[in-house]
């Protein structure tokens, strides 16, 4: 599935991932390929992305390697999943 992580300042990540784990305001959850459509608000925590991830040199310092994936810290935000495209709007 295709993931975009966007902040007011820049697009932090764009690319194919296997899954994304987010801190939902009603509980953390994971989105996999072909997941049902969903819209949710996000709380402070980490967006975790998994798969064969290629981070560009510009944004690599924004992510922390965590096991088999990468973590990006957020203060709040929103997420939308529709038709195998996930958009995370983050602060």
Model-level pTM? 0.93
Closest alpha carbon to 34 in 79, 86, 83: 83
What are the tens digits of pLDDT across the range 12-28?
999 999 999 999 999 99
Instruction: Give the Å distances, CA to CA, from 83 to 13, 23, 32, 42, 54.
Output: 18, 21, 12, 20, 22
**Both structure tokens of 53:** 């991830």
What are the tens digits of pLDDT across the range 35-68?
999 999 999 999 999 998 888 776 888 999 988 8
Domains of the chain: 2-90 (2.60.15.10)
- 66-71 long-range CB contacts below 8 Å, 24 or more apart? 69/21, 71/46, 71/47
Q: How many CA atoms lie within 13 A of 80 on its CB side?
A: 5
Cα 72–Cα 78–Cα 83 angle in degrees, nearest 5: 95
Residue 73 above 90 pLDDT? Answer: yes
């Amino acid at each position: 599935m295709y993931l975009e992580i966007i902040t007011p300042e820049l697009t932090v990540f764009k690319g194919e991932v296997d899954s994304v784990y987010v801190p939902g305001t009603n509980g953390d959850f994971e989105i996999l390929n072909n997941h049902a459509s969903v819209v949710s608000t996000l709380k402070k925590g980490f967006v975790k992305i998994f798969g064969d991830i290629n981070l560009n040199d510009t944004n690599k310092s924004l992510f922390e390697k965590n096991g088999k994936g990468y973590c990006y810290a957020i203060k709040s935000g929103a997420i939308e999943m529709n038709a195998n495209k996930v958009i995370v709007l983050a602060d």
